């Protein structure tokens, strides 16, 4: 199989139309595209009304939908019965305006917690959005922009998979998320929202298996601040109008798109000045590798050390973060090695000056010179080898800067 990035975002999938507008903090997006949907939802014990509503629409694990309506500026979370009625009303408004069944509408919201939706605003904005619906690339882009909150750029990816059997399959997605990012999406988690469309002809069961695998490897491995949202929601919708594809190929393609979107969320973390990738290998199990990788990118001390470009503090704090994973079965300090790599778009490449072995089998190496130099790069890659097994996992995050505090205190 061959994966090729294509233009068009969500609208690269035939039959999908989209549009979105934003007025100040308030945005509304509508995505129209008929198909089999599977959802994954926040693991929070307090789920926002749109999460509960959409989960019910999809019968908890899958169902056909006609459209997704999503707003930013109000999370419709912790809003009681009124909140649930408003989520239902959003679905009815979208259904009526599209002339489809209201039972086939998914709803998502993001914004501050604890206030009710302004339904008049939503109704008025929907009027404009419906008129703007288009299968052109701008449809996807405007929808992706409408759902942003503290994000600084919109997040969109589309790929075409050439299966090698003259069959072509499109997988495309949009996402938002910048703060309150510590997704834990359970069968069916920050507010992160992502809507993914494909034209692959696959059963609901295969869609679900591939979706759970891709989410576990992507959105659930992103940490901006370690705060889990009440509104996280990811939907995968298949129109089934495209080519045939094997489960393995589809899973690989879907993992690619979800990881690209997850990395965009990490890059756009609130106040981020640097992107962090933490790959943990040599772990006793994939679960262990995932826990350690997430602990590293979650640690405020590791994040601060990266913001301050201090490899010595960073490595000590990575060790502390590894140790804090009390459920990890097998940790042997004498077997831990840590490699560091820096990357910077603007920088001239010099293989000897952007990579260093920082810790070797439990011993700190020279953390001045190259180690100090590479920390100035905008992208920091950390590779931890636990040296006790064969499993690995990768997590993504960003540094902790003055701006994170600024954004979230005012």
What is the widest separation between alpha-carbon atoms in the chain? 67
Element (H, E) at 214: helix 204-217
Query: By CB under 8 A, is residue 333 in contact with its own copies?
Result: yes
Query: Of 164 and 300, which has the nearer Cβ to its own copies?
Result: 300
**Known catalytic residues?**
187
Cα 169-174-176 angle, rounded to 5 deg: 155
Residue 203 CA: distances (Å) to CA of 11, 63, 77, 333, 389: 22, 11, 33, 46, 35
Among 92, 96, 103, 112, binds its own copies (CB under 8 A): 112
According to CB under 8 A, which one of 362, 366, 369, 390 is a site residue for its own copies? 362
Q: Is 410 in the site for its own copies (CB under 8 A)?
A: yes
Smaller CB separation from its own copies, 24 or 99: 24
What spatial distance separates the first Cα and last Cα of the chain, rounded to whole Å? 48
3-state secondary structure of 45: coil
Map tokens 């840590």 to a residue. 338
294 contributes a contact to its own copies by CB under 8 A: no
- Tell me if 43 contacts its own copies by CB under 8 A: yes
Kind and range of the H or E run holding 169: strand 168-176
Q: Is 59 in the site for its own copies (CB under 8 A)?
A: no
Q: How far is CA 280 from the centre of its chain?
A: 19
Shortest Å distance, C-beta 376 to its own copies: 13
How near is the Cβ of 173 to its own copies at its closest, in Å?
Answer: 24
Q: Are 232 and 185 in contact (CB under 8 A)?
A: yes
Judge contact between 184 and 216, C-beta under 8 A: no
| Cβ-contact 390, 290 below 8 angstroms | no
CB-CB neighbours of 284 under 10 Å: 16
Contacting residue, 140, 142, 220, 229, with its own copies by CB under 8 A:
229
SS3 55: helix
**What's the closest the beta carbon of residue 320 comes to its own copies, in angstroms?**
5
Residue whose CB is less far from its own copies, 137 or 407: 407
For 349, which DSSP code?
P
Quick one: which segment of 44-52, 56-64, 160-168, 370-378 binds its own copies (CB under 8 A)?
Answer: 44-52
By CB under 8 A, tell whether 184 contacts its own copies: yes
Question: For its own copies, which residue of 64, 201, 310, 372 counts as binding (CB under 8 A)?
Answer: 310
Residues that bind its own copies (CB under 8 A): 42-47, 75, 77-78, 80, 112-115, 179-180, 182, 184, 225-230, 298-301, 304-305, 307-310, 312-313, 315-317, 319-326, 328, 331, 333-334, 336, 359, 362-364, 400-402, 404-410
């Amino acid at each position: 199989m061959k994966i090729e990035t294509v233009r068009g975002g969500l609208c690269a999938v035939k039959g999908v139309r989209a549009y979105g507008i934003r007025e100040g903090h308030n945005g509304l997006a509508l995505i129209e595209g008929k198909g089999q949907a599977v959802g994954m939802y926040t693991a929070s014990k307090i789920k926002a009304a749109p999460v509960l509503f959409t989960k019910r629409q999809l019968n908890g694990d899958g169902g056909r939908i006609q459209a997704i309506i999503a707003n930013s500026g109000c999370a419709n979370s912790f809003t009681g019965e009124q909140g649930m009625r408003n989520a239902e009303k959003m679905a009815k408004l979208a259904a009526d305006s599209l002339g489809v069944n209201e039972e086939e509408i998914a709803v998502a919201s993001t914004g501050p917690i604890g206030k009710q939706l302004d339904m008049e605003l939503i109704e008025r904005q929907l009027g404009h959005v419906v008129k703007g619906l288009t299968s052109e690339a701008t449809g996807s882009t405007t929808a992706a922009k409408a759902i942003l909150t503290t994000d600084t750029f919109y997040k969109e990816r589309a790929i075409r998979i050439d299966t090698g059997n003259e069959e072509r399959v499109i997988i495309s997605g949009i996402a938002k998320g910048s703060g309150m990012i510590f997704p834990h999406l359970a069968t069916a988690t920050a507010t992160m929202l992502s809507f993914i469309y494909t034209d692959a002809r696959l059963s609901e069961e295969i869609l679900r298996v591939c979706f759970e695998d891709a989410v576990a490897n992507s959105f659930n491995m992103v940490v901006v601040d370690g705060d889990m949202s009440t509104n996280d929601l990811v939907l995968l919708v298949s129109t089934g109008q495209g080519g045939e594809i094997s489960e393995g190929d589809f899973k690989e393609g879907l993992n690619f798109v979800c990881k690209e979107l997850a990395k965009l969320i990490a890059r756009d973390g609130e106040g981020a000045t640097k992107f962090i990738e933490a790959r943990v290998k040599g772990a006793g199990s994939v679960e262990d590798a995932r826990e350690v990788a997430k602990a590293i990118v979650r640690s405020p001390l590791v994040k601060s050390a990266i913001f301050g470009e201090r490899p010595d503090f960073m490595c000590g704090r990575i060790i502390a973060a590894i140790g804090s994973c009390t459920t990890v079965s097998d940790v042997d300090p004498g077997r831990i090695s840590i490699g560091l790599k820096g990357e910077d778009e603007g920088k001239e490449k010099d293989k000897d000056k952007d990579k260093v072995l920082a810790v070797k089998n439990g011993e700190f190496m020279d953390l001045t010179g190259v180690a100090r130099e590479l920390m100035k790069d905008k992208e920091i890659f950390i590779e931890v080898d636990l040296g006790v097994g064969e499993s690995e996992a990768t997590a993504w995050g960003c540094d902790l800067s003055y701006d994170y505090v600024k954004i979230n205190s005012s």
